[in-house]
Amino acid sequence: MNLEQQLDRTTQPMPTAAGQYLTFILAGTEYGVDILRVQEIKGWDTATPIPNTPEYIRGIINLRGTIVPIVDLRKRLHMEAVVYGNTTVVVVLKVRGAGGERTMGFVVDAVSDVYNITVDQIKAAPDFGTSVSTEFVRGLAAVGDKMVILLEIDQLVDTGVAMAEHAVSH
Amino acid sequence: MPVDLSQFHQTFFEESFEGLEVMESGLLVLIPGNAHPESINTLFRVAHSIKGGSSMFGFTTITEFTHVMESLLDKLRSEECPVTQGSVDLLLHSVDFLRNMLAAVRDNTGHNTERGGRLREQLEEILENGKRGSVTVSPVPRTTEAADAGGAARGWHIKFRPHRHLLTTGNDPLPMLRELSLLGDLDVSIDVSELPRFQDLDAEACFLGWGLMLHGAIPRTQIAEIFEWVESDCDLEITPIARNTLQASTRPTGEVVPIQSADPNPDVNRFNTSAVGPAPGADEGSTLVERRKNPSAGDASSIRVNIEKMDALINVVGELVITQSMLSQIGEDFAASRIDKLRDGLIQLARNTRELQESVLRIRMLPISFSFNRFPRLVRDMSQQLCKKIDLTVSGEQTEIDKTVLEKLSDPLVHLVRNSLDHGIELPEVRKAHRKDETGHLHLHAYHEGGNIVIEVTDDGAGLNKAKILQRAREHGIIGAHEALAEDKIHELIFHPGFSTAEMVTDISGRGVGMDVVRRNIKDLGGRIEIKYEEGLGSTFAIRLPLTLAILDGQLVRIGRHIYIIPLVSIVESLQVAPKWVSRITGKGEIYKLRAEYVPIVRLYEVFKVVPDSERIESGILVVVEGDGQRAGIYIDELLAQQQVVLKSVETNYTRVQGISGATILGDGTVALILDVPGVLELSRRVVPVGFRTDTHEAVVTAA
């Protein structure tokens, strides 16, 4: 791979959905995020809550001198909340949105695995109408006999931040 | 392989701008007729290196222009040409122009080639005169000299008022005026009545009109020809001059600057020179606007660091490495007997860390002279414009201050200086009448005090006129007609947004920002401004700023299990409250009677929707804060320590949060939020108190 291609890979948003995915568990289902976006995985520790923010923002933490907001992914995806246990981890991701690149942490039930997923493994998510929100889903991937839901992480955060800003202005 | 020169552009521009600053201050101390050869040498060197650099990068316009400047400086250096006020003024203009030209090349925007051409011609003219051994150098074109001969010949009276968009059509009034002057003797007066206040000024619009007297028997068609291209873009009146109305009709209606009589001081012809340009207002306006753009454009710019500071930093890092290796050695085979060594090591580590922090911050520090250096020029220009005699002294210019603070300080400081020059220092005659020295004195002084830097702008002018301020405030309805005010409240008035200084006197101070903006800017920097004055004897404006924006003094406070930080600068006092002094307005807003005034109570737990220890007002603490000129009492559970905190941005990875200016990391590694006091007060006005809460707040988020 020459330098130019390397640059392309890091600066372009993923052109295809194929690649390596880190998967984690939320309410028994496996979700995947593009592994190139993962900065680190750390155990859950307390976060300092920010006033007047949406419920799914757990607060902010100190990640080696940088202030990083923490999103409860269960709450973000409108799932039932659970008490954090000893497998609860924070996946720190680099997300890109309107305001540039941000570093954010996502609380998930547990991390699972890393898969190589090819294009032909990925299927588009079926339309559930309004009953299930699929706007954050990049696609569904079949890995062995399991199904992994690939998340569109930028989408998740952009609408989230927009909502937070909305909350501020009201 | 060809070298890509563009990577050096940034350095070239930085060096050139620095060079221009050196040149400007060099020119200002140049005494006509008695110039020190070394100071001219310095000027020459700067011009030479700009010329060299620009030709290397192929900026030919800059090269050509500096070449002419350089030639003149060379003549001055070799004393072939005498140093006169005229040539110094012209060189100052050229420095301004060069600065604009450099900025234009850097930002890839166009610049006023017309002005450049004119300056170049004038420079060349002086050069020519120098060769002929002429002593008198007059950069004033002959067009204005003809004034005295007024009334001698028949001619035309031309009223020329371009429409606003004239400049954007590619036409420039200046060459037209020049062509007119070729036809015969031309008297020019400018109509600046349409000129807006400075903040409304659009540099690309033409706000000026001209009244022109063209003397001599000239066919009307020749005049019409000159205006042929702009006929549809201007109001034009060409009337023959009646012999007896010559002088009077030179002035079109409206506010007129008669060029010939503008300056009582014959050897100061700077005003005249600039008046022949598009107009003094427009000319200077554009320079100012461009200058103001510079700091923002330079935000991403680099910083030059003194090598000593760099060495100090490297030393500290070296020590840190030693401490680290010592500690890791202790850690490798640790025994209880070595606990003392460990403690020593940790103490050393703490010291190293503190030193490292200080050295890093010192790198960001620049002497305030970077900001002060522009004032000699400003004072010189303004005092000529205002016909005042003003002496400027500067002290403490080596005081260091954070680069970011320094950049943001410039505008407020300029405003204060302008204010002092315009409103503070009186005209020479007035000063004489008050038995004061005719020459007013303005002093800029900077010094460190505790963790703050204090910058004082002192003048020996009239001070504040209390009666006048009160009268103004009543006229504007800011205070009631018969309301009496305490001394410090009167000071407050001049910072009132509606109380613009522009209304008070002339257009000079009105062109900048108002005092309310000055104060807001300074507050944004975490500082405050104080006024001391003696009526009739002078006034001092003192700006107090924290040394750096990255660190602030904070008061840690606790509500329930949450810890917040209130910046110490905004705290007035903290007290325990007796319930009998608290009353409610219409059962809702709580008011506390603090001695002679009433302050609203902000229950922070309501604003932030967290659970406090107690809601009873007497069991907590009321922290009286001031934000945006208003006071309020913030109710909290407990005061904790006061400490310096490092400001971290929440916005970088999240978004702006109202009421929060940032976060910091406490000693135990947890994050605490820093309150933005004005934001919290603003927020509290929107939050409905408990018990009156409507159902709009479904998201009660942070409750424990």
Question: Which chain A positions have a beta carbon within 8 Å of B656's beta carbon?
Answer: 165, 168
Q: Which amino acid is at B599?
A: V
Of A55, A60, A68, which is closest to B699 when you measure between CB atoms? A55
Tokens of A91: 């996946």
Name the residue of chain A whose CA is nearest to B649's CA: A67
Shared domain for B201 and B230, answered yes or no, is yes
For residue range B543-554, what is the model confidence (pLDDT) as tens digits?
Answer: 988 776 677 788
Output the pLDDT for position A16: 57
Pairwise CA distance, residues B364 & B382, whole Å: 32
Q: Is residue A11 part of a domain?
A: no
Chain B residues near residue A78 by CB distance under 8 angstroms: none
Q: Is the Cβ of A168 closer than 8 Å to some Cβ of chain B?
A: yes
ipTM value: 0.80
- Residues paired with B156 in a beta bridge: B214, B240
- Which residue from B610, B480, B482, B626 is spatially nearest to B567, judged by alpha carbons? B626
Domain of residue A115, CATH code: 2.40.50.180
Q: Which residues pair with B454 in a beta bridge?
A: B447, B544
How far is the alpha carbon of B562 from chain A, nearest alpha carbon, in Å? 8
B191 strand-pairing partners? B209, B256
Contacts of B672 in chain A (CB under 8 A): 48
The pair of structure tokens assigned to B618 is: 């007497």
Q: Could you give the CA distance from residue B602 to residue B687 in angstroms, rounded to a whole number?
A: 10
Which pLDDT score, from 0 to 100, does residue B274 have?
Answer: 34
* B7 in contact with A, Cβ within 8 Å: no
Model pLDDT for residues B501-513, shown as the tens digit of each residue: 444 444 444 433 4
- Same domain? For B223 and B341 the reply is no
**φ, ψ dihedrals at B672, nearest 5°:** -125, 145
| Closest-CA distance of chain B to residue A130, Å | 22
Q: Are residues B459 and B479 in the same domain?
A: yes
The nearest CA of chain A is from the CA of B626 a distance in Å of: 21
Answer yes or no: is A100 within a domain: yes
* Average pLDDT value over all residues in chain B: 75
* Optimal mutation site among B602, B670, B671, B686, interface A, most CBs of chain A within 10 A: B671
Cβ-based burial of A166 (10 A; exposed 0-12, middle 13-18, buried ≥19): exposed
Same domain flag for B235 and B350: no
Domain's final residue, options B495, B522, B546: B546
Q: What is the pLDDT of residue B532?
A: 83
Could you tell me if residue A27 is inside a domain? Answer: yes
Residue A131 pLDDT: 61
CA geometry: angle A126, A132, A138, nearest 5 deg? 50
The pLDDT score that the predictor gives to residue B272 is: 35
**Is it the case that residue B604 has pLDDT exceeding 80?**
yes
Q: What is the pLDDT of residue B170?
A: 75
How does pLDDT run across B152-209, given as a tens digit for each residue?
346 778 888 888 777 777 777 777 788 777 777 788 888 777 777 777 777 778 778 8
B551 touches chain A (CB under 8 A): no
Average pLDDT, integer, range B63-84: 81
Tell me the average pLDDT across A66-82.
87
Which among A53, A60, A165 has CB closest to B663? A60
A144 falls within a domain: yes
List all residues 6 or more positions away from B33 whose beta carbon is below 8 Å from its beta carbon.
B82, B83, B84
Task: Indicate whether B520 and B633 sit together in one domain.
Answer: no
Give residue B450's pLDDT. Answer: 66
Structure tokens at B219: 């066919």
Task: Please compute the mean of the pLDDT values over residues A72-86 and round it to a whole number.
Answer: 85
Residue A10 inside a domain? The answer is no
Q: Is B538 in the same domain as B391?
A: yes
Instruction: Identify the helix (H) or strand (E) that includes residue A143.
Output: strand A137-143
Give the 3-state DSSP-derived string for B519-579, with helices as H, strands as E and coil as C. Answer: HHHHHHCCCEEEEEEECCCEEEEEEEEECCCCEEEEEEEEECCEEEEEEHHHEEEEECCCH
Question: What's the distance, CA B432 to chain centroid?
Answer: 32
Find the closest chain A residue to B674 by CA distance: A50
Q: B95-98, long-range: CB within 8 Å, 24+ apart, which pairs?
A: B95/B20, B95/B23, B95/B24, B95/B27, B96/B287, B97/B65, B98/B20, B98/B50, B98/B62, B98/B65, B98/B66, B98/B69
Tokens coding B496: 């009132």
Does the residue A68 lie in any domain? yes
Residue B550 in tokens = 């990255």
Contact B494, B513 (CB under 8 A): no
Residues across chain B? 704
* A51 → chain B, closest CA residue: B608
For the segment B606-616, the average pLDDT, to the nearest whole number, is 86
Q: Which among B655, B673, B701 is the nearest to A48, CB-wise?
A: B673
Q: Cβ of A64 under 8 Å from any chain B Cβ?
A: no
d(CA A164, CA A154): 15
Q: What's the CATH code of the domain at B13?
A: 1.20.120.160
CA gap B503, B444 in Å, rounded: 26
Query: Residue B493, exposed/middle/buried by CB under 10 A (0-12, 13-18, 19+)?
Result: buried
- Looking at the domain assignment, is residue B137 inside a domain? no
Q: Pull the structure tokens for residue B575.
A: 């007290």
Q: Is residue B301 part of a domain?
A: no
Q: What is the pLDDT of residues B310-344, one digit of tens each?
A: 888 899 999 999 999 989 988 888 888 888 888 88
* Greater pLDDT, B698 or B533: B533
pLDDT attached to residue B264? 39
The shortest CB-CB distance from B701 to any of A49, A65, A165 is to: A49
What contacts B694, CB < 8 A, 6 or more positions away? B688
What average pLDDT does range B514-534 have in this prediction?
A: 80
pLDDT of B299 over the 70 cut:
no
What value does the mean pLDDT take over residues B358-383?
A: 84
**Cα distance between residue B174 and residue B648, in whole Å:** 53
Report percent pLDDT > 70 for chain B: 78
Q: Which of A57, A60, A168 sits opposite B656 (nearest CB)?
A: A168
Does B653 contact chain A (CB < 8 Å)? yes
Residues B453 and B563 occupy one common structural domain: no
Output the CA–CA distances (angstroms, integers) from residue B288 to B198, B280, B371, in the order listed.
10, 12, 15
- A62 to B671: CB separation less than 8 angstroms, yes or no: yes
Any domain includes B696: no
Strands B234-240 and B155-162: antiparallel
Domain boundary among B512, B546, B580: B546
> Are residues B287 and B334 located together in one domain of the fold?
no
| Spatial contact of B417 and B375, defined as CB atoms under 8 Å apart | yes
Partners of residue B209 on adjacent β-strands: B191
- A90 shares contact with chain B (CB less than 8 Å): no
- pLDDT higher at B423 or B605: B605
Chain-chain contact of B654 with A52 (C-beta, under 8 angstroms):
no
* Separation between Cα atoms, residue B663 and residue A59, nearest integer Å: 11
Q: Say whether B653 and A102 touch across the interface (CB within 8 A).
A: yes
**Scanning every residue of chain A, which has its alpha carbon at the shortest distance from the alpha carbon of B561?**
A48
Counted domains in chain A: 1
Q: Are B523 and B543 in contact (CB under 8 A)?
A: no
**B contacts of A65 (beta carbons < 8 Å):** 648, 665
Specify the CATH number for the domain of residue B505. 3.30.565.10
Amino acid at B58: G
Place of tokens 């063209």: B214
CB–CB contact A67 B608 (8 Å): no
Q: pLDDT value at position B151?
A: 39
Model pLDDT, residue A125: 77
- Chain A contacts of B659, Cβ < 8 Å? 51-52
In a domain, A110, yes or no: yes
**pLDDT at B482 exceeding the cut of 90:** no
Chain A closest-CA separation from residue B570 CA (Å): 21
The answer to whether residue B498 is domain-embedded is yes
**B40 and B152 share one domain:** no
Same domain for B595 and B535: no
**CA angle, A110 then A111 then A113, to 5°:** 145
> Which residue's structure tokens are 């050393």?
B348
Domain extent at residue B323:
307-363
With CB atoms and an 8 Å threshold, state whether B608 touches A52: yes
CA-based nearest residue in chain A for residue B562 = A48
Q: Are A128 and A84 in contact (CB under 8 A)?
A: no
pLDDT at B359: 84
Q: Which helix (H) or strand (E) holds B451?
A: none
Mean pLDDT score, A118-135 = 74
The answer to whether A161 contacts chain B (CB < 8 Å) is yes
Which residue, chain included where needed, has tokens 């604003």? B607
Q: In a mutagenesis test of the A interface, which of B648, B653, B680 is the best target, namely the one with the most A β-carbons within 10 Å?
A: B653
Structural domain total, chain B: 5
The verdict on A73 touching B (C-beta cutoff 8 Å) is: no
- When pLDDT is cut at 50, 70 and 90, the band that residue A161 belongs to is low
Judge whether B614 is closer than 8 Å to chain A, CB to CB: no
Does the beta-carbon distance from A164 to B670 stay under 8 Å? no
B611 assigned to some structural domain: yes
* CB-defined contacts A:B, below 8 A: 91
Q: What is the pLDDT of residue B481?
A: 67
Q: With 50 as the cut, is the pLDDT of residue B563 above it? A: yes
Instruction: Report yes or no: A43 at the B interface, CB cutoff 8 Å.
Output: no
* pLDDT value of position B559: 92
Instruction: Say which residue, A50 or B495, is predicted with more confidence.
Output: A50
d(CA B563, CA B640): 9
Compute and round to an integer the Cα radius of gyration of chain B.
31
Closest among B276, B153, B137, B154 to B208, alpha carbons compared: B276
Give the pLDDT confidence of B111-145 residue by residue, as tens digits: 667 777 777 777 777 777 654 443 443 443 333 33
- pLDDT tens figures, B389-428: 888 888 888 888 888 888 888 888 888 888 888 878 888 8
Which of A102-106, B305-309, B671-675 shows the lowest per-residue confidence on average (mean pLDDT)?
Answer: B305-309
Minimal C-alpha gap between B458 and chain A (Å)? 42
Does the beta carbon of A66 lie under 8 angstroms from any beta carbon of chain B? yes
Whether residue B354 sits in one domain with residue B377? no
Shared domain for B422 and B540, answered yes or no, is: yes
Query: Is B680 within 8 Å of chain A by CB?
Result: no
pLDDT tens column, B678-687: 888 888 887 6
**Residue range of the domain that includes A102:** 17-168
Return the pLDDT at B254.
Answer: 41
pLDDT (average), residues B5-26: 81
pLDDT at B92 over 70: yes
Name the one residue in this structure whose structure tokens are 């920002």: B513
Partner residue facing B658 (CB), from A52, A62, A99:
A52
Q: Does B688 touch chain A (CB under 8 A)?
A: no
Say if residue B308 is exposed, middle or buried (CB neighbours under 10 Å; 0-12, 13-18, 19+): exposed
Mutate to test the interface with B, among A60, A66, A90 (most CBs of B within 10 A): A60
**Is A7 inside a domain boundary?**
no
Q: Minimum mean pLDDT among B17-21, B246-250, B357-361: which range?
A: B246-250
Does residue B269 lie within any of the structural domains? yes
The whole-number pLDDT of residue A105 equals 92
Write phi, then psi, for B543 (nearest 5 degrees): -100, 130
Report, in angstroms and rounded to the nearest whole number, the Rg of chain A calculated over CA atoms: 16
Please state the pTM of the whole predicted model. Answer: 0.50
Q: Which two tokens stand for residue B604?
A: 């922070």
Q: Rounded to an integer, what distance in angstroms lies between the CA atom of residue B539 and that of residue B613?
A: 49
Cβ pair B88, B30 in contact under 8 A: yes
User: Rounded mean pLDDT of chain A?
Assistant: 79
Query: Is residue B662 predicted with pLDDT exceeding 80?
Result: yes
Q: What is the mean pLDDT of residues B490-497?
A: 72
- Which chain A residues contact residue B683 at CB under 8 A? 52
Whether residue B136 lies inside any domain: the answer is no
Contacts B609 to A, Cβ<8 Å: 51-52
Whether the per-residue pLDDT at A92 is higher than 90: the answer is yes
Cα B75 off chain centre by:
36
Residue to mutate among A45, A61, A62, with most B CBs inside 10 A, is A62
Max CA pair span of chain B:
110
Lowest mean pLDDT segment, chosen from A42-46, B274-278, B496-500, B634-638:
B274-278
- Within-domain flag for B24: yes
Does residue A98 sit at the B interface (CB-CB below 8 Å)? no
- The yes-or-no verdict on residue B271 having pLDDT over 60 is no
Instruction: Say if B660 is an interface residue toward chain A (CB within 8 Å).
Output: yes
Any idea of the CA torsion for B377, B93, B214, B220, to the nearest 10 degrees?
A: -140
Chain B residues with CB under 8 Å of A50 CB are 650, 654, 657, 660, 673, 702
Q: Could you count the other beta carbons within 10 Å of the beta carbon of residue B239?
A: 11
What is residue B286's DSSP assignment? H
Smallest Cα distance from B306 to chain A, Å: 27
Contacts of residue B316, Cβ cutoff 8 Å, sequence gap at least 6: B352, B355, B356, B359
Distance CA B262, CA B272 (A): 8
